[in-house]
């Protein structure tokens, strides 16, 4: 992915750092991802790389944006 692509296309996925389990989990947005045009992979941009916890990638939509990414 080029810089031009990342600037012209909106990301399709939000990437979160998740600490904890269930209702007490803390979801922090840490990046975004774009599906390759051939649908065989993803271009990922991370603003930080956590050392602990989980990394979760979710489709960007009204539900994920209003719930902080939590399912």
Domain count, the chain: 1
Residue 29 lies in a domain: yes
Structural domain harbouring 15: 3-66
pLDDT of residue 1: 46
Bridge partner list, 15: 31, 57
- Residue 12 pLDDT class (50, 70, 90 cuts): very high
Reading the block at residue 15, the tokens are 């990437």
Residue 55 lies in a domain: yes
pLDDT (tens digit per residue) in 27-70? 999 999 999 999 999 999 999 999 999 999 999 987 766 676 67
pLDDT of 4 > 60? The answer is: no
Residue 56 lies in a domain: yes
Using alpha carbons only, give the angle 19, 46, 15 rounded to the nearest 5 degrees.
50
| Sheet order of strands, 42-46 included | 42-46, 26-35, 13-19, 54-59
Residue 23 lies in a domain: yes
Distance between CA atoms of 20 and 9, rounded to whole angstroms? 32
Residue 71 lies in a domain: no
């Amino acid at each position: 992915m080029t810089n031009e692509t990342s600037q012209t296309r909106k990301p399709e996925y939000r990437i979160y750092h998740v600490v904890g389990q269930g209702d007490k989990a803390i979801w922090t947005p840490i990046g975004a991802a774009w599906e390759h045009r051939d649908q065989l992979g993803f271009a990922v941009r991370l603003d930080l790389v956590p050392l602990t916890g989980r990394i979760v990638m979710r489709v960007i939509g009204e539900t994920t944006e209003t719930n902080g990414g939590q399912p």
